[in-house]
Amino acid sequence: MTTSLLDRFPWLLSLYPKSSVFLAAALVYLGLVRSLRWRRYNAIHKKYSAKFRANSLTPEEAQEIMQLSFLWDMPTLGEYSLAFALFKTYAIPTISKLLLDTKQLASQPLVAKRYGDTEILIATWMACPLAGRLVTANPGDPIDDPRASIALARVNWLHSRYKISNDDYLYTLGLFAFEPQAWAAQYGWRALSPLERQATNIIQGAFIYWSEVGRKMNIKNIPATEEEYRAWLQNYEEEHMVPAQTNHDVANYTTEELLFMVPKALRPFFQTLTHSMLEDRVRIAMMQPKAPGYAKYIIDATMGLFACVERYLLLPRRKPFAICQVDMPKIHAGQPAPLLHPTKYPSKPWYKPRGRGLGGYLLDRFLVVVGFHDDIPRPEYRCEGYRIQEVGPLRYEKEGHEQIMKMAEEIQGCPIGDAWKAKATS
């Protein structure tokens, strides 16, 4: 007589109910992830599908659409795509030479500060309303959040200290518009939809998100269509992206900052992975070695795994995420503009608040020991926080505030509340 598997191993019977419950729970969870992960996406597309077909999106609406991926669905990927876009500009000698001439890359603290300040300013005009009010606000409602305008004005004021060509501005703006698309398509858990691509691009001359940012930064001659802009970028790179020592130096300084948390013994390997993500023209202009073939496979496999896990296994975030504070900070009439803190910090803990009490001090020390930072928060790193109009090189920290506020009012098209203009104490 043949003996069945269950006769030989009767204890398997006890596993059937447990495995069925586990399988049912797993299927319910996967269904919940599938339903919730696309809920915000579907709501935004339903809300703006008609205006998309009519090509009539306003800059404020385009910003809300753009925030779907940058604040909710893929904020980390979006952050790194913009960081990579900025990194690619260092392959243009006129840009890299200017950065070295500013002396803001003369030491690690300055490199960290410049990187952190750049992230803060860009995140502020992405996460905060360009018009100073929410899309859902009624006409005539008071302007309640001028942070994006102040950040843009601060950038414009800082840039006015230097001689920067319109073409260099135009090149950087184009990378900001198109690089996130490429990253989402290649590494994201989903690609950007046609609606999102229209909101974040310059198409048929519509003044939508990045074209609106470009206008507020006084960038001229923005191409009217995506095809024209991409062709312009390619021609610009062919003409201006050439090898230079300044490209090499700025790229190395920035790479060291980006890989700060990687143990020193592993940094050469991670530098190789970084090189594998560069297009040949960019890599050659930065005078970087060619990465071995396996490096690109490692990047693609790792990012593909992350994307698969995020798409099918992780519930969507419950709150928007950005490097700057998304919610409106509390302001008080007659008091200095509020001090703010970012949500992440560079190798030097710029703007990181000190931990409270003994436990907070020990945590700060622990983060140094494990390599998150190379120092604890101190006053010289502005541990009390930052004001938007003060962000940037230390020598300009207390300069230009009145002019910046006037510029911000011009950008916003209306007055800014006195509480944001109040001078900080020395």
Helix locations, 188-288, DSSP H: 194-200, 209-216, 226-240, 245-258, 267-276, 280-285
Tens digit of each residue's pLDDT, the chain (426 residues): 555 555 665 655 565 566 677 778 888 899 999 999 999 999 999 999 999 888 888 888 889 999 999 999 999 999 999 999 999 999 999 999 999 998 888 677 888 999 999 999 999 999 999 888 765 556 655 557 899 999 999 999 999 999 999 999 999 999 999 999 999 999 999 999 999 987 776 544 344 788 889 999 999 999 888 889 999 999 999 999 999 999 999 999 999 999 999 998 999 999 999 999 999 999 999 999 999 999 999 999 999 999 999 999 999 999 999 999 998 888 877 778 889 999 999 999 999 999 999 999 999 999 999 999 999 999 999 999 999 999 999 999 999 999 999 999 999 888 888 888 866 444
3-state secondary structure of 340: strand
CB 104 within 8 A of CB 114: yes
Phi, psi (deg, nearest 5) at residue 340: -120, 160
Give the CA distances from residue 5 to residues 2, 10, 131, in Å, rounded to whole numbers and listed in that order.
10, 8, 70
The token duo for 113 is: 């500060």
Q: Which residues contact 256 (CB under 8 A, 6 or more apart)?
A: 108, 111
Phi, psi (deg, nearest 5) at residue 136: -80, -5
Q: How many CB atoms lie within 10 A of CB 358?
A: 8
